[in-house]
Amino acid sequence: MYTLAHSFILCSLLQRPGMHNWIELPGCQYITGTTCDFSSVKLSVFEKIQLRIRAEKGNRTSPWHEVGSFIPFRKAQIGPPKVHLKAEDKAIIVNISPPGTKDSLMWAMDILSFTYSVVIWKNSSSVDERTETVYPGGKIYKLSPETTYCLKVKARLRLHRKVGSYSPVYCVNTTVENKLPSPENIEVDVKDQSYVLKWDYTYENMTFQAQWLRAYFKKILGNHSDKWQQIPGCENVRATQCVFPQKVFSKGAYFLRVQASDGNKTSFWSEEKRLDTEMQTVILPPVISMKSVDNSLHIYIGAPRETENKSTSQHYPLIYEIIFWENTSNAERKILQKKTDFIVPNLQPLTVYCVKARAVIEDEKWNKSSVFSDILCEKTKPGNTSITWIIAGVCTALFSIPVAIYVVKGLLRCINYVFFPSCKPPPNIDQCFSEQSLKNLLLSASEEQTERCFIIENSYSLVTVEETSQVDEDHKQYSSQTSRDSGNYSNEDENSGSKTSRELLQQGLV
């Protein structure tokens, strides 16, 4: 700190990081005081800067004193906001302008982030103080008419951990109580595809009108009375409610307000009710289908039935809450599932189980869920009983019998081939032989050769003995037949020959 015994002149320079030139700081050249204002400098308040100062007197200069580098925004403190008050009978409208001037660079990017807290008390007694957080164009309600209220406001930037200083105290008188009170207890409900706006009013035979405003207008400064718009279907209604279609409001947040009128006079506007269309979205219940598999249930959760075309089909991240119970008892079991296709195992066989499910938005803070779906009941299958095994056994047997027969047949053929081969030569072997005699040799066809033996005696009795080899009766029937005994072979000529000799013998003897 330089004390001013003589007219010291202070000079200060500015440097930006990354640049090696010191620049003269406008508004801080040749200052005779110990403070200077360099607000006019067009620099970014988020850039790190360095300052250095020296004193000059005539030709002599002191060495530079460097101030460490800093970001102006970080060092900045929030000043008092400017407040403009307007009183009603039971409320005060607090129009707050953010700290700094309109062109100030410091808070230009944070205007939306300011939160304002108001401390208000009755001028007569500073005991009952109230602290409230208000929007820039906000109102303080629940006041008494014809009373002097005083308040002070401070701004706060919570994210950057900055708290501003209080504004000076402002006082205002609330007006005489209005003959017509404002409507109270505004509620918004959803019914089918419409919103139902309801409110309470003490008197009868009044007409009402309702207006809406986009929520963000409340956060930016200024008087937005011209931005309020009529809600269609809510102008001059006689009932204490009005209905308007949902598609009036696209997705977003709004404020609604209602005013009463008796033809001549109007009341003040009611408290503003915030409507968040996202909070009003109706989640449709899912559609369940079930299948019983042994002693468990396979549950499928399907998308809800779309009743009408929604302009934006919101596919929120959902989890499903499934409740199931035995039809006879009331003991309910709850499962939370994210998958849409799962199995509930280990249930009692041959029991009827009932299931219902609902969709829940997957978020800790938002407690939104659909209504429960229709109840579906299904009986579990018998499961591991003997009947199943019997059926299985019978089927296996039926299938295996032809297989066994086929296998056995094959085996028998095999055995026959190995142990009892037949001596038939291959059928086309006669092609290999051209000579008939050889053929006959190999392929003897006819019956067995029978050798006839004659025993001739000196007696007159003739005994004809026929010797036949062992021949099957069947073989006589065939003309060409091989015999079993490979040695014997028959000759047709000889047979006929032997016949005739027999006849001759008989004739000779006679």
Number of residues that bind another protein (CB under 8 A): 37
Q: Which of 8, 22, 38, 73 binds another protein (CB under 8 A)?
A: 73
Q: Least separation, in Å, of the C-beta of 50 and another protein?
A: 15
Phi, psi of 241 (to 5 degrees): -160, 160
Burial class (CB in 10 A: 0-12, 13-18, 19+), 80: middle
Position 46 contacts another protein (CB under 8 A): yes
CA distance 61 to 54: 7
Hey, how many other C-beta atoms are within 10 angstroms of the C-beta on 495? 14
Residue 247: both structure tokens together: 């598609």
Nearest to 111 by CA among 236, 226, 219, 245: 219
Site stretch for another protein (CB under 8 A), options 27-35, 51-59, 66-74, 120-128: 66-74
Q: Least separation, in Å, of the C-beta of 247 and another protein?
A: 14
Biggest alpha carbon–alpha carbon distance for the chain: 195
Position 341 contacts another protein (CB under 8 A): no
Position 274 contacts another protein (CB under 8 A): no
CA distance 266 to 218: 23
Position 47 contacts another protein (CB under 8 A): yes
Site stretch for another protein (CB under 8 A), options 213-221, 263-271, 398-406, 489-497: 213-221
Write the DSSP symbol of residue 227: G
Q: Which of 42, 75, 305, 334 binds another protein (CB under 8 A)?
A: 42
**What residue type is 178 in one-letter code?**
N
Nearest to 85 by CA among 169, 178, 182, 142: 169
Alpha-carbon dihedral 377, 383, 385, 387, rounded to 10 degrees: 80
Q: Least separation, in Å, of the C-beta of 71 and another protein?
A: 6
Give whichever of 19 and 112 is closer to another protein, judged by the CB atom.
112
Site stretch for another protein (CB under 8 A), options 71-79, 169-177, 204-212, 259-267: 71-79
Site stretch for another protein (CB under 8 A), options 31-39, 153-161, 196-204, 485-493: 153-161
Site stretch for another protein (CB under 8 A), options 45-53, 86-94, 164-172, 235-243: 45-53
Q: Least separation, in Å, of the C-beta of 214 and another protein?
A: 5
Q: Which residues of 192-204 are buried (b: 16+ CB within 10 A; e: fewer)?
A: eebbebbbebeee
SS in 3 state form for 332-361? EEEEEECCCEEEECCCCCCCEEEEEEEEEE
Position 108 contacts another protein (CB under 8 A): yes
Q: Least separation, in Å, of the C-beta of 252 and another protein?
A: 4
CA distance 218 to 241: 25
Position 109 contacts another protein (CB under 8 A): yes
Position 366 contacts another protein (CB under 8 A): yes
For CA atoms 420, 423, 429, 430, give the dihedral sign.
negative
Q: Least separation, in Å, of the C-beta of 105 and another protein?
A: 8
Q: Least separation, in Å, of the C-beta of 307 and another protein?
A: 22
Site stretch for another protein (CB under 8 A), options 111-119, 391-399, 432-440, 491-499: 111-119
Footprint (CB under 8 A) of another protein, residues 391-420 = none
Footprint (CB under 8 A) of another protein, residues 276-295 = 276, 278
Position 316 contacts another protein (CB under 8 A): yes
Distances (CA, A) of 252 to 58, 192, 248, 345, 427: 66, 19, 11, 44, 98
Give whichever of 39 and 496 is closer to another protein, judged by the CB atom.
39
Binding mask 220-239 for another protein (x = CB under 8 A): x-------------------
Position 20 contacts another protein (CB under 8 A): no
Position 44 contacts another protein (CB under 8 A): yes
CA distance 349 to 342: 18
Q: Which of 247, 251, 379, 409 binds another protein (CB under 8 A)?
A: 251
Give whichever of 278 and 451 is closer to another protein, judged by the CB atom.
278
Q: Least separation, in Å, of the C-beta of 75 and another protein?
A: 13
CA distance 448 to 492: 10
Q: Least separation, in Å, of the C-beta of 317 and another protein?
A: 5
Q: Least separation, in Å, of the C-beta of 226 and another protein?
A: 13
Q: Which of 76, 111, 190, 376 binds another protein (CB under 8 A)?
A: 111
* DSSP-derived pairing of the beta strands 9-15 and 60-61: unpaired
For CA atoms 408, 414, 417, 418, give the dihedral sign.
negative
Give whichever of 198 and 224 is closer to another protein, judged by the CB atom.
224
Q: For residues 42 and 34, is the Cβ–Cβ distance under 8 A?
A: no
Concatenating the DSSP letter of every residue in 33-79 gives: SS----TTS---TTS-EEEEEEEEETTEEPPPEEEEEE-HHHH----
Site stretch for another protein (CB under 8 A), options 157-165, 280-288, 397-405, 451-459: 157-165
- Using CB under 8 A, list all residues that contact another protein: 42, 44-48, 71, 73-74, 108-113, 158-159, 161, 214-216, 219-220, 250-253, 276, 278, 314, 316-317, 338, 361-363, 366
